[in-house]
């Protein structure tokens, strides 16, 4: 974790000095946003604000 803003986001950056070079992530960083409301997560995904959401509501999966 390189930065945490409580209630807003957490930033995780790649650790170049990881002991297992085969497991160093390919991405430079990942931003995690807390979105407890399912409809907000789906709207963020559809609008392009986020690239992936966890636990999409079953009725929105077909879209």
For 5, how many CA atoms within 13 A lie in the half-sphere containing its CB?
Answer: 6
* Ranges of each domain in the chain: 1-14+28-54
Whether pTM exceeds 0.75: no
Residue 60's φ and ψ, nearest 5 degrees, are -105, -5
Query: Both ends of the chain: CA-CA distance in Å?
Result: 33
**Which tokens hold the place of 53?**
């959401």
pLDDT digits (tens, 9 = 90+) for 4-61: 999 999 999 999 888 898 888 889 999 999 999 999 999 999 999 999 998 888 887 7
Spatial distance between the Cα atoms of 28 and 24, rounded to a whole number of angstroms: 10
Reported in sequence order, the residue ranges of 1-63 that DSSP labels E, i.e. its strands, are: 3-5, 9-13, 29-32
């Amino acid at each position: 974790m390189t930065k945490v803003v409580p209630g807003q986001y957490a930033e995780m950056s790649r650790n170049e000095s990881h002991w297992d070079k085969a497991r160093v992530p390919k991405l430079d960083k990942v931003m995690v946003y807390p979105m407890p409301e399912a409809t907000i997560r789906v709207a963020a995904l559809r609008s392009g604000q986020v690239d992936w959401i966890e636990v999409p509501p079953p009725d929105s999966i077909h879209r």
